[in-house]
Amino acid sequence: MLKTINLHKKYNDFTALQSLNLEVEKGEIYALLGQNGAGKSTTINILLGLIKATSGDAFINTISVTDHPQKIKKELAYIPETVLLYPNLTGMENLDFFSKIAGFNYTRAELSAFLRHTGLQEAAHHKTLGGYSKGMRQKVGIAIALAKDAKVLLLDEPTSGLDPIATAEFTEIIRQLGQEGRTILMATHDIFNAVSVASNIGIMKQGQLVQNLQSKAFTAEELQELYLKTI
Ligand code: ATP
């Protein structure tokens, strides 16, 4: 569902990505770990078409990011660390607005069902975003991804700044989305969450994928040890 082939990215003389070969199957949750500057966001930005690879290519559902950047946008949803929404609109209004931008015109019942699917409490659907916690905003972000029927979700630091309850809720939603057949790539520093939610884990170092692991083979402590030895 998601594949990068020999992806290279250079910023002048600096190599940010080097021969990155990544593969994520349909319904898989893949966590990308790595130090600050390892190249995780660069990878996500190339997949999103926000920056161009120097060479190599990336494919979403076999569609080339280089050749079909507009088609790719329909397949993907991006959920940044801080989900940017309109603070003066309610959760429901934000979802309606962004769904319409993506070309979908849903009824109130349908919009409400997307929000419920993410675990956002009914009472919050009609409250303005100004009063939402980070976890609640993230749920609206996920609802927007579901409303546009994105096959692949790209998440950047999704658990950063979430309290343990919000992290557990997030983990549950992501697991469920994977079971429903959505493909998830998340860049994270949260080793514990990566082991708990991801089926596969990649460790990046200086723009290269230096480990590609199955998470069920590791406890969080073992992964942390391996991570510290690797980076
Ligand atoms: P973090 O965990 O801090 O988000 P990251 O793994 O996402 O880090 P990237 O943001 O992909 O890392 O950055 C990879 C490298 O590319 C870094 O050394 C960064 O300084 C460099 N870089 C990113 N964007 C640019 C740019 N526009 N010009 C020059 N260098 C850049």
Please give the structure tokens belonging to residue 218: 């590791």
Locate the domains of the chain by residue range. 2-75+151-230, 85-147
What dotted CATH number matches 2-75+151-230?
A: 3.40.50.300
CA of 17 to the centre of ligand 1 (A): 9
Lookup: tokens for 62: 């076999």
- How many angstroms separate the CA atoms of 210 and 153, rounded? 23
Query: What's the residue count for the chain?
Result: 231
Angle of CA points 102, 23, 119, to nearest 5°: 45
Share above pLDDT 90 across residues of the chain, in percent, rounded to a whole number: 99
Report the nearest-CA residue for atom 25 of ligand 1: 11
Pocket of ligand 1 (CB under 6 A): 11, 14, 16, 34, 36-42, 187
- pLDDT, one tens digit per residue, over 92-145 is 999 999 999 999 999 999 999 999 999 999 999 999 999 999 999 999 999 999
Which pLDDT belongs to residue 16? 97
Q: For position 89, what pLDDT does the model report?
A: 97
Task: Give which of 173, 195, 193 is closest to 182, Cα–Cα.
Answer: 173
**H or E, element range at 59:** strand 55-60
Q: Angle at CA 191, nearest 5°, toward 58 and 75?
A: 30
Q: Which of 140, 167, 1 is nearest to 80 (CA)?
A: 140
pLDDT digits (tens, 9 = 90+) for 184-220: 999 999 999 999 999 999 999 999 999 999 999 999 9
Structure tokens at 136: 């609640």
pTM value?
0.95
**Ligand 1 atom closest to Cα of 44?**
11
Task: Calculate how far, in angstroms, residue 161's C-alpha sits from the geometric centre of ligand 1.
Answer: 21
Q: Whole-angstrom Cα distance, residue 67 to residue 57?
A: 9
Average pLDDT, the chain: 96
Q: How far is the CA of 63 from the centre of ligand 1 (A)?
A: 25
